[in-house]
Structure 1
Amino acid sequence: MLEYSYLDLYLPRGTTRETARRVLTEHAEYGHWELDRLRLYPDGRRYVRLRRKVLRVASTL
């Protein structure tokens, strides 16, 4: 069974689409995060949930 680690981001309403894209791209490229959920509120706030797989390494000893 896969396990995921989650990261919640809250972007304020003044955040432009370009800035939001840049933030999410950096998290995806350097932190290996993928988009799990994005919610855009009517007042312009954004709630973003990112996830990545948790790698469990089995001991070989």
Structure 2
Amino acid sequence: MREHTIGYAEEQVAGSQQRFEYMIVTVESHENLKDARARLREHSEYGRWELARSVILYGGRRKYWLRRRVMKLQKTVHFV
């Protein structure tokens, strides 16, 4: 199983610009699908990732695109 994190992308979601970070999880055909699903579940539960897309490729390889929202934070307190 291979995981690859991609940088940020801006998308139009529900009428507003949103920034998302993407991760691609690739599962080879000989790897256990149950373990892959457990890994995806852990990412979604603890890393706040959501499944954006999944594809089954020729030869049995599977690819999953996960995304999570990137929040912009502004300082509210200025120390002198």
Regarding TM over 0.5, the answer is: yes
Query: In percent, how many aligned pairs have the same letter?
Result: 34
Indicate yes or no: 2:78 matched with 1:54: no
Q: Which runs of 5+ in 2 are unaligned?
A: 1-16
Q: Which has the higher contact order (CA 8 A, sep 6+)?
A: 1
Query: Structure 1 regions of 5+ residues with no counterpart?
Result: none
Q: Which has the larger radius of gyration?
A: 2
Q: 2:48 corresponds to which residue?
A: 32
Aligned residues: 61
Distance 1:54 1:2 in 2: 8
- Deviating beyond 2 angstroms after TM superposition, the runs of 4 or more aligned structure 1 residues are none
Q: Give the whole-Å Cα distance in 1 for the aligned partners of 2:45 and 2:64.
A: 16
Q: CA RMSD in A?
A: 1.2
When the two structures are superposed, what TM-score results if normalisation uses the length of structure 2? 0.68
